[in-house]
A and B are shown apart, each in its own frame.
Chain A
Amino acid sequence: MKIKGNPLHDEGHQKRRNDLISALEAIENREKVHIKIAIPYETAKELSRFLKEKGILESQGVPLLIQYGLSSESEEELERLKREMNSKAAQNLWGEYAVIKFKAYEYLMENKAMVMRLSNMLYENRLLKRRLQLKGLQKLIPKDEWDSWDESVMDSYYHKYVFGKSPPALHGELK
């Protein structure tokens, strides 16, 4: 059976998606302070152009620029930062940052896929070692870090890679 059009791009799907984004933003904004201020047309135009050039959404860019504009750096500190930013080392840092961020993301996704199968992998590993033992091949059984893994270790992997957060505090101790 052929499906006409892409279901992810139909009008209903887009509307539901937009509704969901609005709902999430509304929840996020509930804790924030709403300001509504008239500003000169020229400033608004300049701001709008600036955000477009940088590819930043108004919803994110406006509070970000206000936050940046209010930062406590003195003119001397900004000048020092400017010198540092223009240095060769800083240029390399931007590049290194982009690469390391991408690689960290790749590892994150790859680890997530492996952690989803972790209990099976570990079960299989223990079963194979048990079979080697039964065959009298103890010498071939490697000693591994994961031999002692229990539920709490598995849980911490699940929390880190599948749920994307730290495991809950144990015995009142913050991790």
Chain B
Amino acid sequence: MFSRLVFGKKGKPAVLEAFLDKSTYERFRDYVMKNRLSESDAVVKILERGMANYWLFEFKQMKASHMHIKKLFEEFKKDNELLKAMQVENEQLKNILEKADLKG
């Protein structure tokens, strides 16, 4: 139950199985209708476009993800500093108390 390519005999058509989000499937249906292509011809053209521009789309995704990750990074860093400060403070307070105990 996952997307895959199933090869038969060498040189014979292969079977492409894919699980698509509903919105992607609807865009696929629209593409087939709009361009008056068979599903097979349409999926070949779509895959060729996807492969040809793979790095461009990856770049676009990376730019969007970069903003999100940057925000998370700042948030995690702030939390990290706060949590570490609590740990350090606990050690400092223990030291103060130990010294106070020694003084009696």
Q: Mark A55-94, 1 if CB is under 8 A from B, else 0.
A: 0001111111111111101000010011011000010011
Instruction: Say yes or no: A146-B17 contact (C-beta < 8 A), given A35-B28, A39-B44, A69-B50.
Output: no
- The tally of residues in A whose CB lies under 8 Å from a CB in B reads 76
Q: Which residues of A contact B76 (CB under 8 A)?
A: 104, 107-108, 111
Question: Are A54 and B60 in contact (CB-based, < 8 A)?
Answer: no
Q: Which residues of B have CB within 8 Å of A37? A: 15-16, 39-40, 43
CA distance A29 to B2 in the complex (A): 7
A43 pairs with B47, CB closer than 8 A: yes
Cβ–Cβ < 8 Å partners of A90 in chain B: 59
CB of A41 within 8 A of CB of B20, answer: no
Q: Does B22 contact A (CB under 8 A)?
A: yes
B interface residues, tally (CB under 8 Å) = 67
Given known contacts A38-B15, A62-B3, A100-B69, A132 and B96 CB-to-CB distance under 8 angstroms:
yes
Would B5 and A47 count as touching, CB distance under 8 A?
A: yes
Q: Collect the chain B residues with CB atoms within 8 Å of residue A26's CB.
A: 1
Nearest residue, chain B, Cβ from A118: B83
Q: What residues of chain B have their CB less than 8 Å away from a CB belonging to chain A? A: 1-5, 7, 10-22, 24-25, 27-28, 31, 39-40, 43-51, 53-57, 59-60, 62-63, 65-66, 69-70, 72-73, 76-77, 79-80, 82-87, 89-90, 93-94, 96-97, 100
Q: Which 4 A-B pairs have the closest CB atoms?
A: A69-B50, A65-B50, A69-B46, A44-B14
Known: A66-B18, A78-B56. 15 other contacts (CB 8 A): A29-B19, A58-B3, A59-B2, A63-B3, A63-B21, A64-B50, A66-B24, A67-B21, A67-B24, A97-B65, A100-B66, A100-B70, A104-B69, A128-B97, A132-B96
